Amino acid sequence: MRHSDAASDGNTTHAPTYHDQVQERRRTVEAAVVAAVDRLLRQGHRFTDLTTQQIANEAAVARSTLYLYFGEKNALLIGMATTLGQGAYEIVDRWHPGDPRGLAGLADTFVEVIRYYRERAHVLGAITEVSGYDRAVREHWTAQLDKFVDLAQAWLLAEQRAGHAAADLDRPTAGQIIVHGGNQAIASHVASGDPARDQAVAQEIAAAQWFGGLRRTESR
C-alpha cells in the first residue's frame, strides 16, 4: 500500500504525545491514590487521622507526587464525595412520580440507595466527619445534595401540574426538607442501623416524601 493510501484509509495510528503521556500518568496516579484512601478507610482508619505519608505509602507514590496532583489531603475527599453523590443520584433519577409502582417504587429506590451507601459507608462516614470542620468539604457535599433538591423540585412541580400535589406547596422548602431530611436519616441508619431494617427505613422515608409532598393535600 502506498503511503498516501495508508494515510487516507482512516486506520492510521499515532504515537502518544508528551501531553497524552502526562495525562495518562495523572489518571494512573490519581486512581492509585483514591484506591489507597478507600482501602485505608475500609480498614477502619479515620480520614482525619490519616497522614499524607500513610496515603503515599499505601498508593506507592512519593509524597511530593501526592501534593503535586491533589494539593492537600481534603481534596481527595472532595473527589470521592463527587463520585459517591453521582452514584446515588443515578439510582434516584431512575425513578419518577409517573412510575406505575408509585410509592412502592419509591421505597424500592430508597432500599437501593441505602444499600449503595452501606457498601461505601467508610466514604460516607469520612464525608460526614470532615464536613463538621472543613468548609470546603461541607460546601462540596451540600452541592452534591443540591442536585437531589433540584430533582425533588422537578418531581413536585410535575405532580402539582398533574393535580396530585397541593397547589400551595412551597417547592423550594419542601425539596430541601425532603432531600436533607432523607439524607440524614439514611446516613444515620447506614452508620449504626441494623441492615435487616433497610426495607422498613426505606419505606418510611418514601412514605414521608410521598404523602408529605408528592401526594400532599391542600393545607389551607
Query: Domain segments of the chain: what residues?
Result: 11-71, 74-220
More confident residue, 28 or 208: 208
In this prediction the pTM is: 0.85
- pLDDT on residue 26: 72
CA proximity to 129, closest of 35, 6, 46: 46
- pLDDT on residue 219: 66
Burial 64-76 (b: 16+ CB within 10 A, else e): eebeeebeebbeb
Domains 11-71 and 74-220 belong to one CATH topology: no
Which architecture does CATH list for 74-220? Orthogonal Bundle (1.10)
Overall average pLDDT of the 82-101 stretch: 96
pLDDT-derived band at 16 (thresholds 50, 70, 90) equals confident
CATH assignment, 11-71:
1.10.10.60
